[in-house]
């Protein structure tokens, strides 16, 4: 049985050594992050080693109640959802229901003529050249007009379906949320089931993930890690239910807990859902960052990223969504892992904020703690 050590907002007492351990540094950095201007209201870091799981927190999950942050709080996974998208797809490839070399034209005949030559592998690798629908003026206008309205997957791709690829498929890395929406449609086409149902069949059930879902409404489970928008000079605004996740669907709408995400990422990185042969295909890395970039040097595989840090290499994904930013990764065999989540959106938009820089440093410290334990 794993040992669980919880370190609250006050942190653990430092050792008598003059050099703090990575775990002690992590606790200190969490406190500093929530205290700094532009920092989140709350933060949590799970570090799993062979000895067990250490949970460190700072701040609160809910400003109104003072509810502490825990590893059972429901939170939006944002673009970490893309890793689940990859897990479903690679599992179906393992079963022979589709192949990485299959094209959009073969799997979704007649639906997207301009995209017909793009392969499943290129979609998962973000080398498809598909324009990102989240940058479409029409999409942004619709979301601004009615932020909580439901948007269907077909409506999502419809914002860019008449556009040709931005470059020759397979020639360049370019992160596009459209890629994973199309993969979700492919999953439905080859199985005859909803994408949500296939998530349950291929991911939730095998990994006993009872706290993970793909909601189409703004409803959240309890307890909730509330998400906040931070505008300079104004109190944090609770945006937990301000935006419908349906507009992100297979690209970024999933909900889970820090503990559930940690369980998934360990299994996903270790290839438990699809085996070593496909894991080798998955890890054909090219230069490219997840969104936002994770710690160290980032490289992109098929729905997975390699993070080469000063303490070693881990594999996983990052994500952000209004009110949330997270990072989850594991070692190649899944035995060591880290999950970091904060309840505000921090990214690498220029000029880069001090809080975002502090978050990336914190992620690096968390990786070091996982690899050192």
Least confident piece of the model among 9-13, 20-24, 304-308: 9-13
Q: Which residues contact 205 (CB under 8 A, 6 or more apart)?
A: none
* Residue whose entry in the numeric block shows the structure tokens 């949330």: 324
Residue 85 in tokens: 């998208």
Q: Which residues contact 16 (CB under 8 A, 6 or more apart)?
A: none
H helix or E strand, kind and range, residue 294:
none
Instruction: Answer whether residue 4 shows pLDDT above 60.
Output: no
Instruction: Tell me whether the omega of the peptide bond preceding residue 93 falls within 30 degrees of 0, making it cis.
Output: no
CA dihedral 312, 256, 27, 358 (to 10 degrees): 70
Read off the pTM.
0.94
Cβ neighbours of 18 (radius 10 Å): 6
Residue 200 in tokens: 């349950």
Residue 20's pLDDT is what?
Answer: 78
Asked if residue 257 lies in contact with residue 71, where contact means CB atoms within 8 angstroms, the answer is: yes
For 64-121, the pLDDT digits (tens) are: 999 999 999 999 999 999 999 999 999 999 999 999 999 999 999 999 999 999 999 9
Of 309, 268, 302, 269, the residue nearest 286 (C-alpha): 302
For 235-291, the pLDDT digits (tens) are: 999 999 999 999 999 999 999 999 999 999 999 999 999 999 999 999 999 999 999
Q: Which residues contact 287 (CB under 8 A, 6 or more apart)?
A: 173, 298, 299, 300
């Amino acid at each position: 049985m794993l040992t669980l050590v919880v370190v609250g907002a006050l942190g653990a007492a430092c050792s008598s050594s003059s050099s703090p351990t990575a775990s002690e540094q992590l606790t200190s950095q969490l406190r500093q992050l929530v205290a700094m201007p532009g920092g989140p209201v709350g933060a949590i870091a799970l570090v799993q080693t062979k000895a067990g799981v250490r949970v460190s927190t700072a701040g609160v999950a809910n400003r109104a109640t003072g509810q502490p942050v825990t590893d059972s709080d429901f939170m939006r996974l944002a673009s970490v959802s893309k890793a689940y998208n990859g897990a479903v797809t690679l599992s179906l490839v393992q079963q022979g229901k589709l192949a990485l070399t299959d094209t959009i034209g073969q799997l979704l005949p007649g639906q997207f003529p301009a995209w017909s030559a793009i392969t499943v592998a290129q979609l998962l690798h973000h080398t498809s050249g598909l324009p990102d629908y989240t940058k479409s003026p029409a999409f942004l206008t619709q979301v601004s007009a009615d932020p909580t309205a439901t948007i269907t997957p077909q409506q999502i791709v419809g914002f860019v379906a008449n556009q040709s690829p931005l470059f020759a498929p397979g020639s360049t890395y370019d992160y596009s949320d459209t890629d994973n929406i199309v993969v979700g449609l492919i999953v439905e086409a080859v199985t005859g089931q909803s994408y949500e149902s296939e998530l349950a069949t291929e991911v939730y059930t095998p990994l006993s993930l009872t706290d993970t879902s793909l909601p189409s409404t703004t409803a959240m489970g309890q307890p909730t890690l509330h998400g906040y928008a931070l505008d300079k000079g104004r109190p944090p605004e609770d945006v937990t239910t301000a935006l419908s996740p349906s507009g992100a669907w297979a690209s970024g709408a999933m909900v889970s807990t820090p503990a559930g995400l940690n369980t998934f990422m360990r299994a996903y990185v270790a290839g438990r859902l699809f085996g070593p042969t496909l894991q080798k295909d998955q890890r054909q890395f090219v230069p490219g960052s997840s969104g936002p970039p994770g710690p160290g040097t980032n490289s992109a595989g098929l729905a997975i990223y390699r993070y080469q840090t000063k303490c070693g290499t881990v594999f996983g994904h990052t994500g952000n969504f209004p009110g949330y930013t997270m990072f989850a990764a594991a070692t190649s065999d899944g035995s060591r892992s880290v999950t970091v989540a904060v309840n505000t959106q921090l990214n690498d938009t220029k000029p880069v904020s001090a809080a975002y820089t502090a978050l990336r440093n914190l992620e690096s410290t968390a990786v070091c703690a996982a690899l050192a334990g």
